Amino acid sequence: MTRPILALVLFLTASAAAADVAAIAKNASEWRAQNEGAILSEFSDLLAIPNLASDAENIARNADAISASCTRRGLSVRLLRIAGAPPLVVAELHVPDATRTIGFYAHYDGQPVDRARWKSDPWKPVMRDVEGNEIDWQKAKSVDSEWRIYARSAGDDKAPIIGMLAGLDALHHSGRQPAVNLMFVFEGEEEAGSPHLAGYLAKYPEVLRPDAWVLCDGPVHQSRQMELFFGARGTLDLELTVYGPGKGLHDGHYGNWVPNPIVQLTHLLDSMRDENGRILIKGFYADAKTPTPAELEAISKIPDVEPALRREFAILATESVGKKLNEAIMYPALNLRGIQAGHVGDQASNTIQTEARASIDFRLVPDETPASVKALVERHIEGEHYKIVRETPDAHTRATNAKVVKLEWGSGYPPARTSLDLPLSKEIADLMTEAGHPPVRLPTVGGSIPMYLFQQPDNRPVIGLPIANHDDNQHAENENLRLQNLWDGIEIYATLFAGLSAD
Ligand SMILES: [Zn+2]
């Protein structure tokens, strides 16, 4: 076959596939339009079950309700259990001829609520229009996609669960099969910090080992465009305490003779980080990957929301001079969370304090690890002539060292990043685009989520695909989901299920 003909054949197959993808999305959209009442009923019923991870009885009811919804759709469901943890719901669909399994993750627990701040009961779902008027949607003739359903976890993170199930229904009713094996994994304690997720992944490696993971959690981009994220920063906490004299001293009698721990601490912090966010600890950037050309290109296409954010936050300048937000978060950060020492205002006293404390959180990027960062920080602090201790120092330690600092490290966890150049990364973005929902591609999110757990042990691709509106009030009062986001999610899930290549 000569090259032009080969090119033509490739073009025709590619465009045929594209047309098919558009048809999948269109069918899903049509099916959804005819079944909005049923979708919202199932969503509303799930939202009505209280879902704090610590509320064992209700969290089990959530797991049971989701299991029943999956079983009804012909999925094979297992409730995995670890003592003291909410069950992990795993629902699978095996497709003949498919050799690839894609895991879709969401969580069914929610953040604690401050009921006094909610307009209505967080576990009695209410529909409201854009003006905030309550709507009796079950009696309404049609559903407005700008309406929002208000309840805890409407956005974070029950919407994707309902979206995926509705996406399966939409496929089924248009006579289509998923093209890949599907594994749905629903966690019940994400908002409590996922204390057993590592345990589940370790205990059930033969179950929880899809070829790639799609994490359906979080809100979409502030521009309302759909979004994919390919990484998350790791995290590591540090508490530092610098010690002065063994008792508080008159700062007139002893000032500029007895060392002042507040001054020592601020100088130590100054030696670690400048005003532009640059970390001054030697070697800190050696392990930090610089953005790839594909990542820089994706960043350049992210809609510019920075002027709006500056207005909203009432700031003029930003720390990372010349770098956009999404490029700045590709690098590690040293955030100063707080300083505590002495007193100010009415409480101020002329005293040289006995100690001064600071609290720091580091955000890590590949290939940094908590251990590598710890080592660099401690070497730096020793280079500033400090004696590092792990417990509160006794008088002897203080009397025999010019500068003493106690370091208390949190356990932290490593960062994760999936390459934008992977075939799967491109495939998902292309499918969403063909379905009419071109995604903003964030090479990483700035915050920390334990994506690395899903990557282990052999660096599996992990891609984030949130569907909730950015203004969904997640974690706060009056959490909500804009219906159009659920509708878009259904189309996207149906398109991925049926459009991803089988191998
Ligand atoms: Zn979440």
Helices within 48-130 (DSSP H only): 56-72
pLDDT of residue 432: 98
- List the beta bridge partners of residue 417: 231
Q: Give the count of beta carbons closer than 10 Å to the beta carbon of residue 338.
A: 9
Asked whether residue 1 is domain-assigned, the answer is no
Judge whether 106 and 155 are in contact, CB under 8 Å. Answer: no
pLDDT score recorded for residue 7:
52
448-462: per-residue pLDDT in tens? 888 999 998 899 999
Establish if 197 belongs to a structural domain. Answer: yes
256, 199: one domain: no
Distance 357 CA to ligand 1 centre (A): 32
* pLDDT (0 to 100) of residue 133: 97
Tell me which amino acid residue 283 is: G
Number of Cβ within a 10 Å radius of residue 465 = 24
Indicate whether 371 and 480 sit together in one domain.
Answer: no
Is the separation of the CB atoms in 357 and 239 below 8 Å?
A: yes
**Dihedral angle of Cα 28, 33, 37, 43, to the nearest 10 degrees:** 40
**Between residues 354 and 411, the one the model is more confident about:** 354
Residue 69 maps to a domain: yes
My answer on whether 207 and 259 are in the same domain is no
Identify the burial level of 25 via C-beta atoms within 10 angstroms of its C-beta, where 0-12 means exposed, 13-18 middle and 19 or more buried: buried
DSSP string for residues in 323-385: --HHHHTTS-EEEEEEEE-S--GGG--SEE-SEEEEEEEEEE-TT--HHHHHHHHHHHHHHTT
Contacts of 183 (CB under 8 A, 6+ apart): 90, 91, 92, 101, 102, 103, 104, 208, 210
The CA distance from 267 to 293, in Å, is: 38
Average pLDDT over residues 19-34: 94
Residue 49 and residue 172 in one domain: yes
Gap from CA of 218 to ligand 1 centroid (Å): 5
65 Cβ contact list (under 8 Å, min separation 6): 45, 46, 49
Distance 14 CA to ligand 1 centre (A): 36
Are residues 244 and 202 located together in one domain of the fold? no
The one-letter amino acid code at 41 reads S
Q: Say how many C-beta atoms besides its own lie within 10 A of residue 283's C-beta.
A: 11
Interval between CA 155 and ligand 1 midpoint (Å): 8
Mean pLDDT of the residues in the chain: 94
5 within domain boundaries: no
Q: Same domain, yes or no, for 133 and 275?
A: no
Between the CA of 316 and the centroid of ligand 1 the distance, in Å, is: 31
Confidence of residue 321 (pLDDT cuts 50, 70, 90): confident
Instruction: Say what percent of the chain tops pLDDT 70.
Output: 96
More confident residue, 2 or 458: 458
Tell me, what amino acid is at 86? P
**Listed residues 363, 385, 409: the one ending a domain:** 409
CB atoms within 10 A of CB 76: 11
Q: What angle do CA 286, 292, 293 make, to 5 degrees?
A: 145
Q: Is residue 311 part of a domain?
A: no
Query: What spacing in Å lies between the alpha carbon of 475 and ligand 1's midpoint?
Result: 9
Number of C-alpha atoms within 13 angstroms, CB side, residue 128?
Answer: 16
Domain membership flag for residue 421: no
- Cα separations (Å) of 102 from 93, 172, 411, 421, 463? 10, 18, 30, 18, 11
pTM: predicted TM-score of the whole model, two decimal places: 0.90
At 370, which CATH number?
Answer: 3.30.70.360
The total of structural domains in the chain comes to: 2
Same-domain status, 243 and 391: yes
Ligand 1 centroid to Cα of residue 245, in Å, is 46
Q: Of 390, 409, 428, which closes a domain? A: 409
> Span 137-141, mean pLDDT?
93
The backbone region for 412, taken as left when phi is positive above 0, alpha when psi lies in -120 to 50, beta otherwise, is left
Question: Which pair of structure tokens corresponds to residue 50?
Answer: 């209280």
**Which of the residue ranges 352-361, 395-404, 418-427, 453-462 would you say has the lowest mean pLDDT?**
453-462
pLDDT at 68: 98
Q: Are residues 56 and 112 in the same domain?
A: yes
Same domain, 31 and 110: yes
Q: What's the gap in Å between 353 CA and the centre of ligand 1?
A: 42
- Tens digits of per-residue pLDDT, 179-234? 999 999 999 999 998 999 999 999 999 899 999 999 999 999 999 999 999 999 99
Measured in angstroms, how far is the CA atom of residue 145 from the centroid of ligand 1? 23
**Domain membership flag for residue 303:** no
What is the mean pLDDT of the segment spanning 13-33? 82
Euclidean distance between CA atoms 230 and 462, whole angstroms: 7
- Residue 2: pLDDT above 50? no
In a shared domain, residues 253 and 347: yes
Backbone angles phi, psi at 260, to 5 degrees: -100, 115
207 or 387, which is more confident: 387
In a domain, 460, yes or no: no
What whole-number distance in Å separates Cα of residue 398 and Cα of residue 265? 16
Distance 17 CA to ligand 1 centre (A): 33
| Secondary structure, 3-state, 107-166 | ECCECCCCHHHCCCCCCCCEEECCCCCEECCCCCCCCCCCCEEECCCCCCCHHHHHHHHH
CA distance 403 to 48: 57
Which of 389, 409, 429 is where one domain is finished?
409
Specify the CATH number for the domain of residue 69. 3.40.630.10
User: What amino acid occupies position 151?
Assistant: A
Residue 3: band (very low, low, confident or very high) from pLDDT cuts 50, 70, 90: low
How many C-beta neighbours within 10 Å does residue 97 have? 8
Question: Which domain range does residue 350 map to?
Answer: 234-288+331-409
Could you tell me if 132 and 197 lie in one domain? yes
Same domain, 238 and 142: no
CA of 158 to the centre of ligand 1 (A): 9
